[in-house]
């Protein structure tokens, strides 16, 4: 920690930044400083003001008051070259898939290596090779981006930032879509960046990562900076309570419910090569956790169970009867509800209102003659908003404008409004802040108590262990273990998951 | 639950179109004394009606995330098909009307069916049916205009009820029906959902193929209605009629705030768009601006409307 000594001058000093949108203060006199060679974890619930602060830092937004100084000099215009020294690795990747690694790294700067007219790919490739080597990346400069895995694309973005001689790199949820092995590779690169004096602002909801990688932690809550300090001074519980402003004594509700009748039975279910020969039963009032690494076939299994894909072999029994689910309509009619891991792609219609999204799957319940009965829709919406604690300015607000947690609650509401008996939740708390996470856990528990059968897919082992009655582990498309909660531990699950 | 029942005929951003329409009307009424006369307004209404019908049809399609380039060809096929059964003293009026609507419906269904079954892009499918439709119109009519139509048929495009031209009445009634379908029915809601996020709509249990089929069929029907009106107004079924109409109709929808990326748009906006195009054309006629310059003005307005719409969104 010696590099954060009193003698070191910060690269960036954010001073009393305030920003309001339509009279609502999103940032309230926020101070933050960033030192060379450190990883600063910026924490806060969704809507706490993290992304607004970052947008002000990289010049996408203008602060109402306050100042930012860079290497001791106050920056007035946000277009004064600051955008080149501060790079942001976005959640949504900003690359051109059809271009190569080298072409992406130097996109827009080709002229500095070539003549005015002709491209010199050879020179660009060499330069790219240099940057990749500097980061210890084993990527070919001539590979097209569309042929790379998500994690590798992220590495290319980091390489691009380095080639721009960025002094500050902002990483927004960099591990949300990559596997554990890739996370390790990313962290190695972060270490390399630190040694080169690059400062990193790291935004993530994953607590274990924060404590692995962060030197210092800053916590935003409701637009105020409520904590800045070394990472060692905090632990998970303390950090969570700083973020939500109250102590969460117990993240997972500890109650047992009576296991009811068998609602779902899967025998020899196969969709090669994604998964093969899966067997399990699911009862009312039971949560079955489905664990495994990325690519183990969990989401593919869920997609077959909800009618999005068809199986190649095996049978699905719902309430004892063999069910052939040709499409999602049939699955919904048979009482299966599915919350996708990719809510942006499969979960909601971004431009549609909260109300219309909530009733989208159950619209036929609101049929009156040939029309939609908006009164009965509004009644259901009012119940949903209250029950699920959805925070929206009104029922007319487009869901695309809500925070991740609230979007997820809308998706949950839409699915639950179809009155399913079997609820498949695929990564229900991905990209969701701690408060919403807790509410989703409570909801799962309520569903369980009301006798529904729940299949919970999650990459977060504490979540699987905390919520499940039994745990099914998949590895490379094969079922490797089915254990009770009492038998299960993180180590045991991992042993079977990496098989 | 404040403001839920508050009725909003426009979506945000469409007030600009309404404002533009009012400004153009005020300016034209100052520049040309004849503009606000009752007879001129009825002329504008009649001129707007056919483009508006097509624009309503394509609005459904664009909101659902598609596009339809075969509008003009459907106008021609429906026009010729209705004219062939509209000679005096042959069939009762319902037959030419029914044949015209059936012709449009058939091509619309073909569009929808090929798009949902083959997953080929709507742009390409309807580019194909645009040519097929034109060919069918020429085949049906043997390449010659179909004239000598009955008086009752000619009333549709040329007659008046209580002094109001029949095409304007058709326009008003069709607008109300389209507005109702889009806002009050399950189909309307599904159209927005499919255009807003097709994958999510599918996963939510919506039969996306069925929705698309209905949308293109509806568009075909509306084009057929436009074709019948046109045939009746010029008292001839022209196999070459309607060429280029698709562009005016798409322009009306876009000026009216329908996004080509799908998921947003209103019938009110499209009606405003069609009226804006009609009013400007009429005004330029009254100001003796030649049709060559009118084209330049019209193109500028299309781009200008979308640019202004984008600026409005940015400022929010």
Q: What is the pLDDT of residues B220-245, one digit of tens each?
A: 999 999 999 999 999 999 999 998 89
Query: CB of A151 within 8 A of CB of A267?
Result: no
Find out if CATH 3.40.50.300 is the number for domain A2-98+144-244. yes
The residues near B239 (Cβ < 8 Å, ≥ 6 apart) are B76, B80, B134, B137, B138, B140, B141, B143, B144, B145
The predicted model gives A46-53 an average pLDDT of 80
Query: CB of A354 within 8 A of CB of A361?
Result: no
- Residue A233 buriedness (CB in 10 A; 0-12 / 13-18 / 19+): exposed
Q: What is the pLDDT of residues B235-277, one digit of tens each?
A: 999 999 998 899 999 999 998 989 888 999 999 999 999 999 9
A356's tokens? 């219309």
For residue A253, what pLDDT is reported?
Answer: 67
Q: How far is CA A246 from the centre of its chain?
A: 23
Neighbours of A336 (CB within 10 A): 28
* Same topology between domain A2-98+144-244 and domain A262-497: yes
Sorted by where each begins, the domain ranges of chain A are 2-98+144-244, 262-497
Pick B73 or A403 by higher pLDDT: B73
Q: What is the pLDDT of residues A246-272, one digit of tens each?
A: 655 556 766 667 788 899 999 999 998
Residue of B nearest to A22 (CA): B316
Cis peptide before A273 (omega within 30 of 0): yes
What is d(CA A121, CA A27) in angstroms, rounded to the nearest whole number?
45
Within 8 A of A306 by CB-CB distance, chain B residues are 203
For residue A329, what pLDDT is reported?
Answer: 93
The predicted model gives B140-147 an average pLDDT of 91
Per-residue pLDDT for A160 more than 60? yes
What is d(CA B271, CA A99) in angstroms, rounded to the nearest whole number?
43
The predicted model gives B281-294 an average pLDDT of 87
Q: Strands A422-426, A336-339: parallel, antiparallel or unpaired by DSSP?
A: parallel
Neighbours of A348 (CB within 10 A): 31
Among A359, A360, A367, A379, which would you mutate to test the B interface (most chain B Cβ atoms within 10 Å of its Cβ)?
Answer: A360
Within 8 A of B203 by CB-CB distance, chain A residues are 306, 308, 328, 338, 340, 346-347
A367's tokens? 């049929």
A22's tokens? 């339509």
Which residues of B make CB contacts under 8 Å with A?
Answer: 1-4, 180, 184-186, 188-190, 192-193, 196-197, 199-207, 263-264
Residue of A nearest to B193 (CA): A349
SS3 content of chain B, % helix, strand, coil (to 5): 70, 0, 25
What is d(CA B46, CA B69) in angstroms, rounded to the nearest whole number?
23
Query: CB of A326 within 8 A of CB of A407?
Result: no
The predicted model gives B36-43 an average pLDDT of 86
Radius of gyration of chain B (CA): 19
Cβ within 8 Å, pair A418-B202: no
The predicted model gives A43-65 an average pLDDT of 83
Within 8 A of B197 by CB-CB distance, chain A residues are 345, 348-350
What is d(CA B206, CA B214) in angstroms, rounded to the nearest whole number?
13
Binned at pLDDT 50, 70 and 90, residue B55 comes out as very high
What is d(CA B97, CA A212) in angstroms, rounded to the nearest whole number?
75
The closest CB to that of A371, out of B184, B190, B196, belongs to B184
Residue A343 per-residue DSSP state: I
The predicted model gives A298-322 an average pLDDT of 93
Binned at pLDDT 50, 70 and 90, residue A4 comes out as very low
A313-322, B18-27, B305-314: range with highest mean pLDDT? A313-322
Q: What angle do CA B66, A91, A396 make, to 5 degrees?
A: 55
Neighbours of A7 (CB within 10 A): 7
Per-residue pLDDT for B204 more than 50? yes
SS3 content of chain A, % helix, strand, coil (to 5): 35, 25, 40
Among A305, A352, A419, which would you mutate to test the B interface (most chain B Cβ atoms within 10 Å of its Cβ)?
Answer: A352
What is d(CA B258, CA B267) in angstroms, rounded to the nearest whole number?
9
Which residues of A make CB contacts under 8 Å with B?
Answer: 306, 308, 327-329, 331-332, 338, 340, 345-352, 355-356, 360-361, 363-364, 367, 370-372, 378, 381-382, 385, 394-396, 414, 418
Query: CB of B72 within 8 A of CB of B243?
Result: yes
Residue A227 per-residue DSSP state: E
A162's tokens? 């380095």
Cβ within 8 Å, pair A351-B264: yes
The residues near A111 (Cβ < 8 Å, ≥ 6 apart) are none
Neighbours of B80 (CB within 10 A): 30
Pick A91 or B6 by higher pLDDT: A91
The closest CB to that of A348, out of B190, B200, B205, belongs to B200
Q: Of the ranges A4-18, B75-89, B213-227, which one carries the lowest mean pLDDT score?
A: A4-18
The predicted model gives B48-74 an average pLDDT of 96
A486's tokens? 């009492």
Give percent of chain A above pLDDT 70.
92
Cβ within 8 Å, pair B1-A332: no
Q: How far is CA B316 from the centre of its chain?
A: 30
Query: CB of B167 within 8 A of CB of B229?
Result: yes
Considering the domain A262-497 in this protein, what is its CATH number? Answer: 3.40.50.300
Cβ within 8 Å, pair B4-A363: no
Binned at pLDDT 50, 70 and 90, residue A79 comes out as low
**Sign, Cα dihedral of A58, A408, A291, A334:** negative
For residue B208, what pLDDT is reported?
Answer: 94
Residue A94, sorted as left (phi over 0), alpha (psi -120 to 50) or beta, turns out to be: beta
What is d(CA A496, CA B144) in angstroms, rounded to the nearest whole number?
77
What is d(CA A274, CA A293) in angstroms, rounded to the nearest whole number?
13
In order of their start, the domains of chain B are 37-310 (1.10.3470)
Residue A9 per-residue DSSP state: P
For residue A277, what pLDDT is reported?
Answer: 93
Query: Smallest Cα–Cα separation from A107: which of A22, A60, A164, A183?
Result: A164
What is d(CA B245, CA A71) in angstroms, rounded to the nearest whole number?
61
What is chain A's mean pLDDT, rounded?
86
Q: What is the pLDDT of residues B122-140, one digit of tens each?
A: 999 999 999 999 999 999 9
Binned at pLDDT 50, 70 and 90, residue A120 comes out as confident
Query: Smallest Cα–Cα separation from B98: which of B86, B116, B115?
Result: B86
Residue of B nearest to A334 (CA): B205
What is d(CA A201, CA A40) in angstroms, rounded to the nearest whole number?
5
Question: Chain A: nearest CA to B243, how far in angstroms?
Answer: 34
Neighbours of A381 (CB within 10 A): 26
The alpha-helical segments, DSSP class H, found in A50-120 are 50-57, 82-85, 101-105
Within 8 A of B200 by CB-CB distance, chain A residues are 345-349
For residue A263, what pLDDT is reported?
Answer: 94
Q: What is the pLDDT of residues A447-462, one digit of tens each?
A: 999 999 999 999 888 8
Neighbours of A313 (CB within 10 A): 12
Write the DSSP string, A395-452.
TTSBGGGS-HHHHHHHHHHHHHTT--SEEEEESTTTT--HHHHHHHHHHHHHHHHTT-
What is chain B's mean pLDDT, rounded?
89
Q: What is the pLDDT of residues B150-192, one digit of tens each?
A: 988 999 988 889 988 999 999 999 999 999 999 999 999 999 9
Cβ within 8 Å, pair B204-A350: no
Per-residue pLDDT for B198 more than 90? yes
What stretch of H or E contains A472?
A: strand A470-475
The predicted model gives A380-393 an average pLDDT of 91
Per-residue pLDDT for A3 more than 60? no
Q: Of the ranges A50-59, A61-70, A81-90, B96-105, which one carries the lowest mean pLDDT score?
A: A81-90
Pick A236 or B50 by higher pLDDT: B50
What is d(CA A478, CA B79) in angstroms, rounded to the nearest whole number?
62
Query: Could you give the 3-state DSSP secondary structure of residue A151?
Result: helix
């Amino acid at each position: 920690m010696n590099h954060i000594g009193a003698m070191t001058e910060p690269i960036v000093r954010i001073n009393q930044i305030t920003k309001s949108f339509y009279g609502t203060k999103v940032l309230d006199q926020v101070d933050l400083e960033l030192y060379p060679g450190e990883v600063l974890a910026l924490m806060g619930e969704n809507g706490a003001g993290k992304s607004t602060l970052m947008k002000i830092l990289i010049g996408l937004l203008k602060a109402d008051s306050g100042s930012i100084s860079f290497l001791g000099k106050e920056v007035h215009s946000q277009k004064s070259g600051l955008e080149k020294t501060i790079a942001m690795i976005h959640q949504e990747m900003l690359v051109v898939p059809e271009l190569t690694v080298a072409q992406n790294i130097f996109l827009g700067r080709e002229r500095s290596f070539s003549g005015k007219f002709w491209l010199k790919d050879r020179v660009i490739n060499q330069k790219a090779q240099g940057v990749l080597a500097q980061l210890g990346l084993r990527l070919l400069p001539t590979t097209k981006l569309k042929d790379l895995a998500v994690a590798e694309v992220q590495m290319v973005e980091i390489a691009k930032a380095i080639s721009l001689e960025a002094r500050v790199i902002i990483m927004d949820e960099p591990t949300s879509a990559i596997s554990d092995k890739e996370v390790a590779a990313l962290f190695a690169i972060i270490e390399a960046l630190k040694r080169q004096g690059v400062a990193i602002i790291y935004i993530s909801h994953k607590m274990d990562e924060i404590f692995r990688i962060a030197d210092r932690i800053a916590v935003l809550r409701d637009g105020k900076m409520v904590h800045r300090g070394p990472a060692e001074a905090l632990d998970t519980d303390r950090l969570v309570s700083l973020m939500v402003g109250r102590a969460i004594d117990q993240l997972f509700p500890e109650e047992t419910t009576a296991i009811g009748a068998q609602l779902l039975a899967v025998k020899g279910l196969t969709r090669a090569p994604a998964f093969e020969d899966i067997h399990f039963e699911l009862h009312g009032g039971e949560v079955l956790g489905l664990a495994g690494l990325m690519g183990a076939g969990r989401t593919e299994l869920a997609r077959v169970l909800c009618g999005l894909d068809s199986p190649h072999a095996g049978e699905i029994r719902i309430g004892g009867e063999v069910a052939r689910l040709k499409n999602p309509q049939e699955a919904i009619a048979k009482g299966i509800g599915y919350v996708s891991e990719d809510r942006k792609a499969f979960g909601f219609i971004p431009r549609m209102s909260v109300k219309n999204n909530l009733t989208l799957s159950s619209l036929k319940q609101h049929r009156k003659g040939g029309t939609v009965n908006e009164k009965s829709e509004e009644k259901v919406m009012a119940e949903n908003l209250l029950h699920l604690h959805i925070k929206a300015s009104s029922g007319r607000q487009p869901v695309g404008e809500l925070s991740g947690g609230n979007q997820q609650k809308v998706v949950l509401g839409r699915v639950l409004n179809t009155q399913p008996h079997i609820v498949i939740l695929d990564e229900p708390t991905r990209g969701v802040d701690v408060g919403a996470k807790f509410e989703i856990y409570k909801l799962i528990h309520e569903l369980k108590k009301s006798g529904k059968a729940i299949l919970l897919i999650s990459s977060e082992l504490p979540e699987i262990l905390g919520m499940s009655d039994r745990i099914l582990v998949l590895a490379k498309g094969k079922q490797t273990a089915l254990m009770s909660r009492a038998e299960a531990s993180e180590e045991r699950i991992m042993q079977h998951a990496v098989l | 639950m404040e403001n839920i029942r508050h009725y909003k005929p426009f979506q945000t951003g469409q007030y600009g179109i309404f404002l533009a329409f009012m400004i153009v009307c005020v300016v034209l009424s100052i520049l040309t004394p004849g503009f606000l006369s009752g007879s001129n307004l009825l002329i504008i209404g009649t001129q707007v009606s056919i483009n508006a019908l097509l624009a309503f049809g394509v609005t459904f399609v664009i909101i659902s995330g598609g596009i339809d380039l075969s509008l003009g060809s459907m106008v021609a096929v429906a026009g010729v098909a209705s004219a062939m059964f509209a000679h005096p003293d042959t069939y009762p009026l319902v037959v030419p009307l029914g044949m015209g609507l059936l012709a449009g419906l058939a091509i619309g269904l073909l569009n929808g069916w090929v798009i949902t079954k083959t997953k080929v892009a709507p742009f390409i499918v309807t580019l194909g049916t645009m040519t097929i439709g034109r060919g069918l119109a020429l085949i049906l009519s043997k390449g010659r205009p179909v004239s000598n139509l009955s008086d009752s048929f000619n009333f549709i495009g040329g007659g008046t009820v209580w002094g109001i031209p029949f095409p304007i009445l058709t326009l008003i009634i069709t607008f109300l029906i389209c507005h109702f379908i889009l806002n009050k029915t399950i189909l309307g809601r599904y159209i927005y959902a499919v255009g807003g996020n097709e994958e999510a709509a599918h996963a939510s249990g919506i039969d996306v193929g069925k929705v698309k089929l209905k949308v293109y069929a509806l568009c075909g029907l509306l084009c057929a209605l436009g074709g019948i009106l046109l045939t009746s107004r010029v008292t001839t079924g022209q196999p070459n009629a309607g060429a280029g109409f698709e562009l005016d109709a798409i322009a009306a929808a876009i000026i009216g705030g329908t996004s080509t990326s799908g998921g947003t748009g209103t019938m009110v906006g499209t009606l405003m768009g069609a009226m804006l195009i009609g009013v400007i054309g009429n005004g330029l006629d009254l100001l003796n601006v030649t049709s060559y310059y009118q084209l330049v003005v019209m193109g500028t307005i299309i781009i200008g409307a979308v640019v202004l719409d984008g600026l409005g969104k940015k400022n929010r």
